[in-house]
Structure 1
Amino acid sequence: MSSDEAPESDRVPGAPHPRHSPTIIGQDHAVADFLGAVDAKRLHHAWLITGPRGVGKATLAWQIGRWLLADGDAKSLTAPPDDPVARRMAALSEPRLHLVRRGFDQKTGRLRAEIGVDDIRALLSFFHLSAAEGGRRVAIVDAADELNGAASNALLKILEEPPAGGVILLIAHQPARLLPTIRSRCRELRLAPLPPEEMQRVFAALEIDGDAQALAALSGGSAGEALRLAGQDGLEAYANIVALFATLPRFDRTKARALAEAAGARATADGDPFDLTVTLLDRFLTRLARAGLMGAPVPEAVPGEAELMARLCPDADAARIWAGAQAELSARARTGRAVNLDPAALVMDMLTQLAGQAPAHTKA
């Protein structure tokens, strides 16, 4: 696969890369926080942009980067599309910008599972080599919670001795996974899930096809996730997961194998089937656990979901079991990807393990 065809780890399949997004929707509070800091002459050398996946963290980081390098005014982060800095950033040819993200492994045909120490060493070289030119330089790390241990330690050293004129924008979906010392050296911009009215604005702006209500329910206020689900037939895949769990406690192994085989398909520029499957399983288990505490979800993401969840998770005791299963699944998925286990076999193993959670509290 050529570099032009390879998937980008920081782009939602079916959506434009955040560097091409002209504006951010529904995060006015975070924008005001950043501009307020600039206005007060408190531009920190490192910013940690946090929040759920797909709510605009990367879009905000790229807007801040454009603003910093183009010397924008203090009232708005919006840059004209014909601005030379904006054009160079869109083409990934701006010499004062460095992007750190998971690369594509040509041998496995998949995105790497982690950001490695060599990626952070390249960032250090960027700051050293560009220091002689003077002026402001910007680095975007997407996402910081994908750094492995050695990379995290290398990044910490950069944050401890920040380069003159350098600003580092760290995107984190799960900031608790970062080293506390990294978090303590950053100023945080926290983004929230989008409310329904803002989600509708995003759907209209990006012309998202599909059941808007179902996509909004399953994406949890994440416009990026809604785009990915729409572009990868995510609602159909989620319906298959619901159909599989509806067979509990018997557990239909034929349906399970079909899910696992679909997850094992090769990643393309349109997305990674394994990542989609794990994400949807995680979302199903999260909604399932909440059903035991707060009642079945409304609205449903797919028909029959509410009835199934009321059966599988009728009370708080069941909710604790499913929440524990969700945490274990996430850990197994990260470990499996890190050591390049076969995706189909890994998903089949996870499904079998999850089915084993059901008999103690599931009515046939």
Structure 2
Amino acid sequence: MSDEQAPEPDRVEGAPHPRETLALFGQESAETDFLTAVNSQRLHHGWLISGPKGVGKATLAWRIARFLLTLPLEAEGGLFGDAPPEHTSLNVDPEHPVSHRIRALSEPGVFLLRRGWAGSTDSARDKSRQEGKFASEIRVNEVRELTGFLHMSMADGGRRVVIVDSADELNVNAANALLKMLEEPPARAVMLLISHQPSRLLPTIRSRCRELRLNPLTPEDMHSALTQAGFEAAESPALSELAGGSVGEALRLLQQDGLTLYSELLALFSARQGFDRPRALNLANTMVGRGAEARFEMLLTLLDLFLLRLARTGALGQPPMVEAVPNEAQILSQLAHSPYKARQWAQVAQEISDRTQHGKSVNLDPASLVLDTVFKIHETAVA
């Protein structure tokens, strides 16, 4: 398998990799904060780029990398103490040599730390590479490769940028090894740590980084981001609502026809004559067979989201302002008509989550797991 054909653990299937994505939408505040640090000559060596999954954290990291590696060293101050020029944007010409090298993963000034191939031996990793199987975490030996990069002698005395995607995936030994590098960073090295759940990182890692917090995208920014990625975004308001403002989740929903699947899920509980058992059986049967794994995972995600929206509807006394699919507001209001019902839905959401995790751990048949979940929701709806 060539490098061009090899899958990447930090790429959404079917979408451009963040290093290939030049524009970032909806995160102007984070970009401004970073530029303020550059312009004030207070560029910290460690940055924690945090926020929900899929809102552009990796895209921002690569934008920062391109910017720093094309930033003249004079930007740190001239020979006679004259003020460096002020920078107002992270944009870099896509035809710049650094941009070309970054897209090809051949830029010597960038080190990308991410999960490697599964296996503890060279032969096992070679086999995993052929099968496209990645390790479940970033291991300490992968962090150790970073040591040589940070301490290598740069011929032009230039900058070095490290992107950790994501820091959440560091195992304990890898996290401790990275911490030592954050504690004693070499000159002109900047480390960009991407994290979806920064509260789970070592407190000592968080304390040695400045944070750039990214937020969910608005429907307008979602539309722009999806268009840039080459996807039709006609349903962007509903898509943004269901994806929680996450472009990554929106792409997953588009690829798995998530809006239609969510509509099918709600239809199970919308019939006036009661629960539609044949429809439930048909839905469960579509979760079995070759290539159904992604659809099954999508349904589990949508089930969690459905229960969350039910609980919020009951607690707030009204459904969400934006419907993810037609008639959603009516169905949510019928099923969660009181604070008492909201508590029921919150409790059943936790029970179903526990059941699902257990079922997956023991390789329970997906169809059976879906039916068990749907029947539990029905029991709660009529209770």
TM superposition score category, shorter chain reference: 0.7 to 0.9
Separation (CA, whole Å) in 2 of partners of 1:155 and 1:330: 33
Separation (CA, whole Å) in 2 of partners of 1:20 and 1:137: 19
Separation (CA, whole Å) in 2 of partners of 1:188 and 1:318: 39
Aligned residue number for residue 45 of structure 1: 45
Aligned residue number for residue 242 of structure 1: 266
2:191 aligned with 1:171: no
Go from structure 1 to structure 2 and tell me whether the alpha carbon gap of 1:160 and 1:14 turns closer, same or farther (over 3 Å shift).
Answer: same
Aligned residue number for residue 212 of structure 1: 236
Separation (CA, whole Å) in 2 of partners of 1:43 and 1:179: 22
* Native 8 Å contact 1:312 1:358 kept in 2: no
Aligned residue number for residue 288 of structure 1: 310
Aligned residue number for residue 90 of structure 1: 103
Aligned residue number for residue 291 of structure 2: 265
Separation (CA, whole Å) in 2 of partners of 1:88 and 1:214: 37
* Native 8 Å contact 2:161 2:190 kept in 1: yes
Aligned residue number for residue 61 of structure 1: 61
Aligned residue number for residue 139 of structure 2: 116
Separation (CA, whole Å) in 2 of partners of 1:81 and 1:212: 27
Separation (CA, whole Å) in 1 of partners of 2:101 and 2:160: 14
* Native 8 Å contact 1:244 1:256 kept in 2: no
AA at the equivalent of 1:13: E
State the Cα deviation string for residues 114-142 of structure 1 (Å, max 9, x = none): 333333223334324x2465431111111
Structure 1 position 163, deviation (Å): 3.2
The alignment covers a number of residue pairs equal to 354
Separation (CA, whole Å) in 2 of partners of 1:363 and 1:335: 26
Separation (CA, whole Å) in 2 of partners of 1:254 and 1:14: 30
Go from structure 1 to structure 2 and tell me whether the alpha carbon gap of 1:231 and 1:42 turns closer, same or farther (over 3 Å shift).
Answer: same
2:38 aligned with 1:12: no
Partner of 1:296: helix, strand, or coil?
coil
2:165 aligned with 1:152: no
Separation (CA, whole Å) in 1 of partners of 2:224 and 2:236: 11
Separation (CA, whole Å) in 2 of partners of 1:231 and 1:127: 39
Structure 1 position 356, deviation (Å): 3.6
Separation (CA, whole Å) in 1 of partners of 2:105 and 2:11: 14
Gaps of 5+ in 2: 73-85, 119-126
2:251 aligned with 1:227: yes
State the Cα deviation string for residues 52-99 of structure 1 (Å, max 9, x = none): 222221111100011111116722100001111111001111112111
Aligned residue number for residue 188 of structure 1: 211
Partner of 1:362: helix, strand, or coil?
helix
Separation (CA, whole Å) in 1 of partners of 2:211 and 2:367: 35
* Native 8 Å contact 2:19 2:62 kept in 1: yes
Structure 1 position 325, deviation (Å): 5.4
* Native 8 Å contact 2:16 2:229 kept in 1: no
Of 222-231 and 182-191, more deviation after overlay is shown by 222-231
Aligned residue number for residue 362 of structure 1: 381
Partner of 1:37: helix, strand, or coil?
helix
AA at the equivalent of 2:161: V
Of 284-293 and 46-55, more deviation after overlay is shown by 284-293
Partner of 1:261: helix, strand, or coil?
coil
Separation (CA, whole Å) in 2 of partners of 1:150 and 1:349: 36
Separation (CA, whole Å) in 1 of partners of 2:53 and 2:210: 19
Of 298-307 and 14-23, more deviation after overlay is shown by 298-307
Of 140-149 and 54-63, more deviation after overlay is shown by 140-149
Partner of 2:382: helix, strand, or coil?
coil
Of 347-356 and 158-167, more deviation after overlay is shown by 347-356
Separation (CA, whole Å) in 2 of partners of 1:333 and 1:180: 31
Separation (CA, whole Å) in 2 of partners of 1:6 and 1:283: 32
Go from structure 1 to structure 2 and tell me whether the alpha carbon gap of 1:310 and 1:9 turns closer, same or farther (over 3 Å shift).
Answer: farther
TM-score normalised to structure 1 length? 0.82
Structure 1 position 246, deviation (Å): 5.9
Gaps of 5+ in 1: none
Separation (CA, whole Å) in 2 of partners of 1:131 and 1:110: 34
AA at the equivalent of 1:16: P
* Native 8 Å contact 2:24 2:225 kept in 1: no
AA at the equivalent of 2:315: L
* Native 8 Å contact 2:30 2:212 kept in 1: yes
- RMSD between aligned residues: 3.4
Structure 1 position 316, deviation (Å): 3.3
